[in-house]
Amino acid sequence: MSKIVLITGATSGIGLACTRKFAENGDKLILTGRNEQRLTEIAQELTAKGTEVRTLVFDVRDREQARQHLAGLPQEWQNIDVLINNAGLALGLEPEYQGSFEDWDTMIDTNIKGLLTMTRLVVPGMVERNRGHIINIGSVAGDAAYAGGNVYCATKAAVKTLSDGLRIDVADTAVRVTNLKPGLVETNFSNIRFHGDTGRAANVYKGIKPLTGDDIADVALYAANAPEHVQIAEVLILATHQASGSVIVRK
């Protein structure tokens, strides 16, 4: 039976990979993002293959826009079965005492407050219907800080704690909560972190075969389709030559 799956940050990276994996699974998709043109292109691509798609153009940092867009969904799209809180980013790699206030605000407002906004708007309906699944895209960075990671690591530690807390809050229902913690994934993540410095971004993946967005989407799809009595609470996904957020063997 197909599900209604809402994916934030669906225009690139892990979000886009999840979009395509869940489309292949026959699910109906609600895709959110800030890039209207890219969302339209993705929707056209998937619609041509038979997937039902709705697109919502807003930034998860804008709580009122999120509220309005979700409230404006047609009735047949209101009962969201899976929420994938994917929208997130890292900015900068400076020591904490030299960090950018603006970068900090963007990471905290997106990675933590944006996730909370979507959770607050979508999960009450899941609890009422006694079914649903929240998949949060965390990070190995949430397990321990690494050099220069400071605030980003803190936001992903918050994702873990918020996932654990929500799982406790809905334990008396059939709603499930999953926290996926990827390690080194080759997307535009590093390009964004280094504010478009492609050379510096490329060095992040030098000497190691990193994960891809598809690798993470495979795990998300598995978790969402596990038997109803099975809750995949947390999964750490690393490249073979990565042992932790800070231990990477390059060859």
Residues with a catalytic annotation lie at 152
Nearest alpha-carbon partner for 90 in 114, 76, 111: 111
CA atoms of 107 and 70, how far apart (whole Å) = 23
Nearest alpha-carbon partner for 82 in 26, 160, 12: 26
Q: What are φ and ψ of residue 202, in 5° steps?
A: -65, -30
Q: Which residue has the tokens 């043109």?
A: 37
CA atoms of 205 and 211, how far apart (whole Å) = 10
CA atoms of 235 and 251, how far apart (whole Å) = 26
Q: What separation in angstroms does the CA of 173 have from each of 129, 131, 223?
A: 9, 7, 17
Q: How far, in whole angstroms, is CA 27 from its chain's centroid?
A: 18
Asked whether 193 and 93 are in contact (CB, 8 A), the reply is yes
